[in-house]
A and B are shown apart, each in its own frame.
Chain A
Amino acid sequence: MNILIYGTVNSIIFALVAVGFTLVYGVSRLPNFAHGALYVLVGFLTWSMVNDFKLFYPFAILISLGISSLLGALIYRLVLIRLRGLPTSEIIASFAVGLIILEGLRLQGIGGFKGFIGPFYVLPSFIDAKIKIAGVLIDAQRLIVMLGGLAVVVSIWLFTHHTKTGLSLRAIAQDEQAAMMLGIDSDRAAIISLSIGSALAGLAAVIILPLGNVTAEAGYRILINALAVCIIGGLGSWAGAVLASFVLGFAMIISTALFGSVWESVVLVGAIILILIFKPSGLLGKQKELEERV
Chain B
Amino acid sequence: MLEIKNLMVFYENAIAINNINMKCEGGKVTGIFGANSAGKSTLMYTISGIILDVKKKEEMKGGERITILGNIIFEGTDITYLKPSERAKKGIILCPERRRIFAESSTLENLKIGAYLATKTQAKKTLEYIYTIFPPLKNLKSREGGFLSGGEQQMLAIGRALMAQPKLLLLDEPLLGLSPMMEGMLARSIHDINLQTGITILISEQYARPILPIVHHGYVLENGGAVLEGSSQELMENPDVKSAYFGL
B88 with A180: CB separation less than 8 A: yes
Answer whether A184 and B116 are a contact pair too, CB < 8 Å, given A85-B60, A293-B146, A293-B150: yes
Enumerate A230-287 residues with CB–CB distance to B below 8 Å.
none
Enumerate B6-49 residues with CB–CB distance to A below 8 Å.
48-49
- Residues of B in contact (CB 8 Å), total 44
Overall SS of chain B's interface: helix
Closest chain B residue to A289, Cβ basis: B146
CA distance A14 to B115 in the complex (A): 35
Residue of B60, B88, B146, B148 near A181 (CB, 8 A) is B88
CA distance A223 to B48 in the complex (A): 40
Does A182 lie at the interface of the complex (its beta carbon under 8 Å from any beta carbon of B)?
yes
Residue of A161, A175, A291, A293 near B102 (CB, 8 A) is A175
Does A164 lie at the interface of the complex (its beta carbon under 8 Å from any beta carbon of B)?
yes
Does A179 lie at the interface of the complex (its beta carbon under 8 Å from any beta carbon of B)?
yes
A161-198 toward B: CB 8 Å interface, digit per residue (1/0)?
10010011011001111111111111010000000000
B102 with A178: CB separation less than 8 A: yes
A177 with B149: CB separation less than 8 A: no
CA distance A177 to B48 in the complex (A): 11
CA distance A251 to B84 in the complex (A): 47
Answer whether A182 and B164 are a contact pair too, CB < 8 Å, given A85-B61, A86-B60, A291-B146: yes
CA distance A182 to B85 in the complex (A): 7
CA distance A289 to B149 in the complex (A): 13
B153 with A181: CB separation less than 8 A: no
Q: Which of B71-79, B104-112, B224-232 contacts A (4 or more CB under 8 A)?
A: B104-112
Answer whether A167 and B109 are a contact pair too, CB < 8 Å, given A86-B61, A181-B48, A183-B85: yes
B57 with A85: CB separation less than 8 A: yes
A177 with B50: CB separation less than 8 A: yes
Residue of A167, A168, A176, A290 near B103 (CB, 8 A) is A290
CA distance A235 to B113 in the complex (A): 23
B149 with A293: CB separation less than 8 A: yes
A174 with B50: CB separation less than 8 A: no
Q: Whole-angstrom distance from the CB of B165 to the nearest CB of chain A? A: 9
Closest chain B residue to A165, Cβ basis: B116
Does A78 lie at the interface of the complex (its beta carbon under 8 Å from any beta carbon of B)?
no
B64-100 toward A: CB 8 Å interface, digit per residue (1/0)?
0000000000000000000111001100011110101
CA distance A48 to B112 in the complex (A): 44
Q: Whole-angstrom distance from the CB of B133 to the nearest CB of chain A? A: 19
B83 with A185: CB separation less than 8 A: yes
Does B135 lie at the interface of the complex (its beta carbon under 8 Å from any beta carbon of A)?
no
What are the residues of chain A within 8 A of B101 when measuring CB–CB? 178
Answer whether A171 and B102 are a contact pair too, CB < 8 Å, given A290-B146, A294-B150: yes
Does A221 lie at the interface of the complex (its beta carbon under 8 Å from any beta carbon of B)?
no
Closest chain B residue to A171, Cβ basis: B113
B105 with A184: CB separation less than 8 A: no
Q: Whole-angstrom distance from the CB of B66 to the nearest CB of chain A? A: 14
CA distance A105 to B161 in the complex (A): 49
A182 with B116: CB separation less than 8 A: yes
Residue of A83, A174, A185, A290 near B85 (CB, 8 A) is A185
CA distance A65 to B112 in the complex (A): 30
Does A84 lie at the interface of the complex (its beta carbon under 8 Å from any beta carbon of B)?
yes
CA distance A175 to B116 in the complex (A): 15
CA distance A63 to B50 in the complex (A): 39
Closest chain A residue to B123, Cβ basis: A164
A183 with B117: CB separation less than 8 A: yes
Closest chain A residue to B157, Cβ basis: A178
CA distance A179 to B96 in the complex (A): 11
CA distance A152 to B61 in the complex (A): 37
CA distance A170 to B48 in the complex (A): 21
What are the residues of chain B within 8 A of A161 when measuring CB–CB? 109
Does B167 lie at the interface of the complex (its beta carbon under 8 Å from any beta carbon of A)?
no
CA distance A293 to B150 in the complex (A): 7
What are the residues of chain B within 8 A of A186 when measuring CB–CB? 53, 85
CA distance A195 to B103 in the complex (A): 26
Closest chain A residue to B170, Cβ basis: A181
B61 with A183: CB separation less than 8 A: no
What are the residues of chain A within 8 A of B104 when measuring CB–CB? 170, 174, 290
A182 with B93: CB separation less than 8 A: yes
What are the residues of chain A within 8 A of B150 when measuring CB–CB? 293-294
Given contacts A182-B116, A183-B164, 17 further A-B contacts (CB under 8 A): A161-B109, A167-B112, A167-B113, A167-B116, A170-B109, A171-B102, A177-B50, A180-B84, A180-B88, A182-B93, A183-B116, A185-B85, A290-B104, A290-B146, A292-B98, A292-B146, A293-B153
Residue pairs across A and B with Cβ atoms less than 8 A apart, 8 shown, are: A171-B116, A175-B102, A180-B50, A180-B53, A180-B88, A181-B96, A290-B146, A293-B148
